[in-house]
Structure 1
């Protein structure tokens, strides 16, 4: 968003399979958010061809045209994973699609038709202007488009508005604008700064929705991807996998819709009655810790912070049911199953609160998480989601206390004592609930303002790597079990 270039070697986030002059990514630096964030995404064939020809031009600056069959198609074949997150096509039908794309898109590509070979080049030879969402800019500029010294390496922010909404031309002065056409940005690629779809279904009483992404390691996914016979039929869930965030943040879908989440997803503001938001990652064993800071808390507002399992009611305060435990700002009361007990002095604006949970590991505990691959997939605004039905009453009957577990809360670095012992078994997520216009910011680590010195713990930020490893192994097991089973659907 700050429109600056950065060396890839200077970044701390993982870029994965990447090449120069890419268009299929979204990048936010530390100037634009609390941390760096690099997200790959699907690309159209026009974007893939643009990236391929641009890189060929960079490797061969003396040439303007490149052979479709001998250079462009082989480059796409070799660098498919860098050009797009779409699963690799097995059949060669996409070769024809590439030809049609470059012939049709005369605003970006020019053709040199030889009797023996067909070659393509870029209408605009200025490679410094190639980046996310640059196609419309190149089409409108044509060959007379002039490069500016300060080029763009990050995706410009999408401005909300009507069909004729104007947007600044990246790299130009403040008065220079272009019109963003409806088809310039696909609905499925409209992501907020932290990579989650702008429009998404919210978890609610009875149902939970989990964002899915294609699992390129799933058996026979090529047959599904290329077969026209699947049109209108349910998509097998095992061909996809659960989308996992790159960081521990406040979840956009796992919250009450009226709560307002900041762009960096580390701050939340309440609205009217009590409602709750959970973090993107939870823990089921070990000792974990996170911090919150009370930024604003008017006299008629209140907060309850703590830990909640995934079935905890969102349109209620944390600590309302059997699935959550909380610490309230007023009178310092602790809550579980709507029963309040005196715990500590109240906390107020400016206080930094630490929340520690200790969950002993049991021998009979399941080692791998639920992959969601056996759940039905539903489509919402160009994205697929696993739809999970909540079995609250059935789960409540089976809940058992975890011997030796406990929760301890801290205020400005000082322990307030053990708040809860022998909590129920399950996966616990950091949870924030707000009453009226209170505002809280969260810190999941690894650096804390008041790290506790009397206990051992892991920062919640470390839960990302552990969870991804578990899900990867769980997905692999399911993929092996479904080997050769695509024909059954």
Structure 2
């Protein structure tokens, strides 16, 4: 049984003014598969796709991220499915059923204020059954208890669905303009946000971590007892009497290439690091019994992987930095605020020769910067070169720093307008590379998975004090700096082994901009790779790490 209710008859007026869409510069074609680009905000016809002609999906899908050829960082179209829950699925199902009915009546694509109702058992459930694999990456349910879940979802989500007054088992889509159905729909973006606003697992975990850390003794991993060390430790750990801690924030909002909305990243702190994750399409979840209908069940972290789009570009990290720093929208330009604070890059290196540039843009009175390389264990509420885990070069007097000890390096230093080069050399034998953990970042699939501000993150914890005990010199390694294209000489050699990230620290209101390549103001030394190339490598390495993890978990999977 199905009915239509209320409203006036369809008119000859289109549902919305025609807009130029797709590579073909045509118009929307409701009733056919179309994809929405998260960057240029345009719709693309499936028949016009260049690299994804084999893609199969349902009309009115809402859980995916698509980048067209013109917007994709790789120059090729990309499509990544997102986890779809029953609410997302119901939107897609009712939109398709509505489109089919409008097509039959000749009203598809035109204004029609009438809601079209569909019977749960006769129409909605059969559509789910026929198209389950194209609606979600959740495994097909083996019990019919999911029928009641669909019914409850349709009845509960009143902003999206409306039950028929005379029948509790017939429902309509509230949005009658089908051109508004897609991943860019505001109503779709709000799905799942109401419940998570009040209770957020990540905030609880971070709060608990802070409590534990406050009760423990500070170790020498926090750095030597130099001038200002106490203040920096207090800022890093959340302890101490400093009044400025009232301004501490827990997260940073940043735009991720390919995402149509800002992503809130929890700041790394006290040895805890957070990495944006996405559902791994290569692994299917095993769900049994009533567990399949429980919204409160714990999601195994191995079902997720690092977000492939987020690691596709090398920038300054939105969350591996001091919260006081002002990171601009390009995520390459940063301005300081009072005391020394650190910002690290998104990608680290463990082998090879790598290079990046820093443009010293503004140097107000009494301000200066340090540039260099840092491991994650080095605190961000300090300066580059503050602990054994980082090496830096200061603009003031050109002094080089490691473990808070300064030494003469380049007479006169550098100033506003200068372009600085940072090179790190970590030798390795590609024919005898040794254990993979020495040169490949580990998989995060065995780390806790948390939800923070509607996104999933891997949570990794590293003990800086323990890591410090394991530090060993890396024979043959070196760090070298350049000023306006000319080498200033080797600053450090036989540095400690580990994963190193580009790092900058700013004092007062200095401003700098990082350039990770591939085009530089001055040619890099022969044999050095631009840090931008690391984004290409990380995909292969992370895939290899995940395969190793999946092999070890073969029985679980």
TM-score (norm 1): 0.72
User: Residue 401 of structure 1: which of 468, 473, 491 is its match?
Assistant: 473
What runs of 5+ residues in structure 1 fail to find an aligned partner?
82-86, 138-154, 159-179
Distance 2:284 2:128 in 1: 29
Alpha carbons 1:320, 1:335 under 8 Å: kept: yes
Structure 1 CA distance for aligned equivalents of residues 131 and 341 of structure 2: 51
1:193 maps to: 255
Match of 2:554 among 478, 483, 488: 483
Is 1:134 paired with 2:185? yes
Where do residues 455-466 of structure 1 align in structure 2 (5 Å cutoff)?
455-466=526-537
Contact 1:224 1:230 (C-alpha < 8 Å) held by counterparts: no
How far apart, CA to CA, are the structure 1 residues paired with 2:357 and 2:285?
A: 45
Q: Is the 2:480–2:489 Cα contact (8 Å) retained in structure 1?
A: yes
Q: Mean alpha-carbon deviation: is it higher for 378-387 or for 302-311?
A: 378-387
Q: Sort the Cα spacing of 1:307 and 1:12 in 2 relative to 1 into closer, same or farther, 3 A.
A: farther
Q: Which of 392, 417, 427 matches 1:360?
A: 427
Is the partner of 1:332 in helix, strand or coil? Answer: coil
- Which residue pairs with 2:538 in the alignment? 467
Shift of 1:259: 1.7
Asked whether the equivalents of residues 237 and 375 of structure 1 are also in contact (C-alpha less than 8 Å), the reply is: yes
For residues 346 and 432 of structure 1, the distance between their equivalents in structure 2, rounded to whole angstroms, comes to: 15
Q: 1:241 to 1:316 in 2, by over 3 A?
A: same
Partner Cα distance (2:357, 2:301) in 1: 37
User: Deviation of residue 385 (structure 1)?
Assistant: 4.5
Residues 216, 33 of structure 1: alpha-carbon distance in 2 compared, 3 angstrom cutoff: closer
**Partner Cα separation in structure 2 for residue 409 and residue 387 of structure 1:** 34
Counterparts of 1:198 and 1:371, CA distance in 2: 22
Partner Cα distance (1:465, 1:389) in 2:
26
CA apart distance, 1:290: 1.7
Maintained 8 Å contact 1:89/1:226? no
Cα pair distance change 1:349/1:204, threshold 3 Å: same
Write the distance in 2 (CA, Å) between the matches of 1:185 and 1:129. 25
**CA shift at 1:307, angstroms?**
0.8
**CA 1:68–1:471 in 2, change beyond 3 Å: closer, same or farther?**
same
Q: 1:202 aligns with which of 243, 264, 267?
A: 267
Q: CA deviation at 1:281?
A: 0.9
**Equivalence for 2:341:** 275
Q: Which residue of 2 aligns with 1:432?
A: 504
Question: Please, which of 55, 62, 66 is the counterpart of residue 103 of structure 2?
Answer: 62
- Which of 417, 421, 424 is equivalent to 1:350? 417
Indicate conservation of the 8 Å contact 2:132/2:140, yes or no. Answer: no
SS of 2:104 mapped into structure 1: coil
Alpha-carbon distance change, 310 to 17 in structure 1, aligned in 2, over 3 angstroms = farther
On the 8 A contact 1:52/1:76 being kept in 2, the answer is: no
Aligned partner of residue 354 in structure 2, secondary structure: strand
Q: Which runs of 5+ in 2 are unaligned?
A: 1-37, 106-115, 201-251
Q: Distance in 1 between matches of 2:41 and 2:502?
A: 35
Query: Which residue of structure 2 aligns with residue 286 of structure 1?
Result: 352
The one-character-per-residue Cα deviations of 1:39-68 (angstroms, maximum 9, x if unpaired) are: 764445343333345456668862367843
Aligned with 2:136 (options 61, 67, 80): 80
The 3 A distance-change label for structure 1 pair 181 and 102 is closer
Q: Residue 84 of structure 2 contacts residue 135 of structure 2 at CA under 8 Å; is this kept in 1?
A: no
Distance in structure 2 (CA, Å) of the matches to 1:221 and 1:444: 42
| In 2: Cα distance, 1:27 partner to 1:198 partner | 16
- Secondary structure of 2:397's counterpart equals helix
Name the CA shift for 1:342/1:19 in 2 (closer, same or farther; >3 Å): farther
Distance 1:33 1:267 in 2: 22
Deviation, 1:333, is 1.9
Distance in 1, matches of 2:374 and 2:282, equals 33
Match of 2:330 among 264, 267, 276: 264
Map 1:359-378 to 2 at 5 A: 359-362=426-429, 363-366=433-436, 367-377=439-449
User: How do 1:283-362 and structure 2 match up within 5 A?
Assistant: 283-344=349-410, 345-362=412-429
> 1:348 and 1:224 mapped to 2: Cα distance?
66
Is 1:47 the counterpart of 2:88? The answer is yes
- Asked whether the 8 Å contact 1:298–1:437 carries over to 2, the reply is yes
Q: Give 3-state SS (helix, strand or coil) of 2:382's partner.
A: coil
- Give the direction of change, closer, same or farther, for the CA distance of 1:52–1:469 in structure 2 (3 Å limit): farther
Q: Distance in 2 between matches of 1:223 and 1:216?
A: 20
Give the TM-score normalised by the residue count of structure 2.
0.64
> Does the aligned pair in 2 maintain the 1:301–1:437 contact within 8 Å?
yes
- Whole-Å separation in 2 of the counterparts to 1:80 and 1:394: 43
Q: Which has the larger radius of gyration?
A: 2
The CA deviation string for residues 105-144 of structure 1, in whole angstroms up to 9 with x for no partner, is 676557899x9xx98765555333333453549xxxxxxx
**Residues in 2 aligned to 1:40 and 1:339: alpha-carbon distance in whole angstroms:** 50
> What is the SS of the residue equivalent to 2:544?
helix
Matches of 1:436 and 1:215 in 2, distance apart? 43
The answer to whether the 8 A contact 1:267-1:441 is kept is yes
Q: 1:379 to 1:99 in 2, by over 3 A?
A: closer
Correspondence for 1:171: none
Q: Which range moves more in the overlay, 205-214 or 284-293?
A: 205-214
